[in-house]
Structure 1
Amino acid sequence: MEEGRKIGVAVDFSSCSRKALEWAINNVARKGDHLILVNVLPQGHYEETEMQLWQATGSPLIPLTEFCDSHVTKKYGIKPDPETLDIVNLAATQKEVIVLLKIFYGDAREKLCEAVDHIPLNCLVLGNRGLGKIKRVILGSVSNYVVNNCPCPVTVVKSADHS
């Protein structure tokens, strides 16, 4: 892959997504790459006009400095945890990557696949919640769907506490 790649990481600010984020930073990201955090919020009735416009194509790309600001995160309806913010701030300074956030609204499976085309991404990294067989059948596996339907290389990072 050439310089300045766009590496997508699915984040929901859980421990599984932090593990995937750390894996992407340690194993894929290089100086000059764009690390794009893709967050999918459930479909809802959003009052703000901007959010209604973004439901089809997602939010604009949000720079790291903005999504570290509590006023901005409130505007977008997200709650990034301090640990994730520390990880991406460290990556931005030490690895010299450009960190951006893109928010989509709707079904995570479909929106993660759409993100690849909308942004566009060179690859996508996501965590695995480690659902058991029964829950996976009932709820469906986001990672399984994305691996089978995404038009770019996908890496699923399995959490160590889920064997």
Structure 2
Amino acid sequence: MAGARRLGVAVDFSPYSIEALQWTVDNVVKEGDHLILVTVRPEGWNYEDGEIQLWKDQGSPLIPLAEFSDPAVMKRYGVKPDPQTIDIVSEAAKQKDIVVVIKIYWGDAREKLCEAIDHVPLDYLTVGNRGLGKIKRAIMGSVSNYVVNNATCPVTVVKHAEHQH
């Protein structure tokens, strides 16, 4: 397993991240890979709760699929994975014989995704794209754009299907 690729997918359990996850499983993941879901929760979460206070700076430990499929475990981290994400990774783990884990960070998604690349470390990252218009993107900033320009590994941005006409 030492030679296994570490493939990251940024997930926020939105339709955009589910598309990015499915695309990665269909097009990139190979037998023996490690698939690391990276999720970033907003700063405003109450750090007194559960495991969060222990991990707010460095992120959570790598949480195996069996645990992040358990709502009681994930509640301690303030994360609620959607059933579709769990189905996609459970099926991929069985069919492709891969290891699936999740890593949770708290803070700014742009910075924390780049941090994950260096600290996990990741060989590759896929991010979804919400397809914000130019004005919203200028005001809010684009997570995918920031990550593409600052990442130390290859990054693929999967555009939301609605915008692929």
TM-score when scaled to structure 1? 0.96
| Residue 28 of structure 1, CA deviation | 0.8
| Residue 90 of structure 1, CA deviation | 0.4
Structure 1: runs of 5+ lacking an equivalent:
none
Mapped partners of 1:105, 1:51: distance in 2: 8
Number of residue-to-residue matches in the alignment: 162
In the TM superposition, 1:140-151 aligns within 5 A as 140-151=141-152
Whether 2:26 is the aligned partner of 1:21: answer: no
Q: Percent identity over the alignment?
A: 64
SS at match of 2:76: helix
Mapped partners of 2:156, 2:49: distance in 1: 34
| Residue 162 of structure 1, CA deviation | 2.0
TM-score when scaled to structure 2? 0.94
Mapped partners of 1:102, 1:150: distance in 2: 17
Q: Match for residue 32 of structure 1? A: 32
Structure 2: runs of 5+ lacking an equivalent:
none
Q: Match for residue 102 of structure 1? A: 103
SS at match of 2:100: strand
In the TM superposition, 1:1-163 aligns within 5 A as 3-44=3-44, 45-48=46-49, 50-163=51-164
| Residue 50 of structure 1, CA deviation | 3.4
SS at match of 1:111: helix
Mapped partners of 1:133, 1:143: distance in 2: 14
Compared CA separation, residues 97 and 154, structure 1 to 2 (3 A): same
For the aligned residue pairs, the C-alpha RMSD in angstroms reads 1.3
Q: Kindly provide the amino acid, as one letter, of the partner of residue 9 in structure 1.
A: V
Mapped partners of 1:53, 1:73: distance in 2: 15
